[in-house]
Amino acid sequence: MSAGDAPPRPQHPRFAKPQRVAFVQSSWHRDVVMEARIAFLDEIEARHVPRERVDIFEVPGSFEIPLHAQILAKTRRYTAIVAAGLVVDGGIYRHEFVADTVIKALMDVQLRTEVPVFSAVLTPQQFHESQAHFEFFKKHFATKGVEVAEACANTLLSLERLRGQVAAGIVAGG
């Protein structure tokens, strides 16, 4: 490999069945949150979920994500749901309350529906409406997009194996 060549991309396992993912994104600070979506789509495609099998939904803010996630999960159309948002402003109690509420509600959705829900809903302690902060968080959201795609793909593979074992009677089902 010459100095200008990129290292080979890792080989990821393939799914036994096609996957479909819903990506629910808040529109608050869209230009920052969009970085997570772009990185997610690139990484999930590298992990054998084609972009055309990812449906994008946009909501006003992070507080609206859990209801959309629940309705989408109940359709049984999606094998996973990913949430992305940036919760800022309004004082420390307000944004911490919103973030905590959103995360707990997303956990409730996945436990009620058995559709895994992943969160890239972030709450920075110190966010300023400055170009430097926007650039920092754009990079941070790109990293989170890759991480949430990795978590999503690995969980879907794990659930596919587990459900196969339950169906085969290897693991007792409930």
Question: Could you please report the per-residue DSSP string of the chain?
Answer: --TTSPPPPPP-PPPSS---EEEEEE-TTHHHHHHHHHHHHHHHHHTT--GGGEEEEEESSGGGHHHHHHHHHHTT--SEEEEEEE---S-HHHHHHHHHHHHHHHHHHHHHH---EEEEEE--SS--SSHHHHHHHHHHHHHHHHHHHHHHHHHHHHHHHHHHHHHTTSS---
- Could you give the residue numbers annotated as active site? 94
In which order are the strands placed within the sheet that holds 21-26? Answer: 54-59, 21-26, 80-86, 117-122
Number of residues written out for the chain: 174
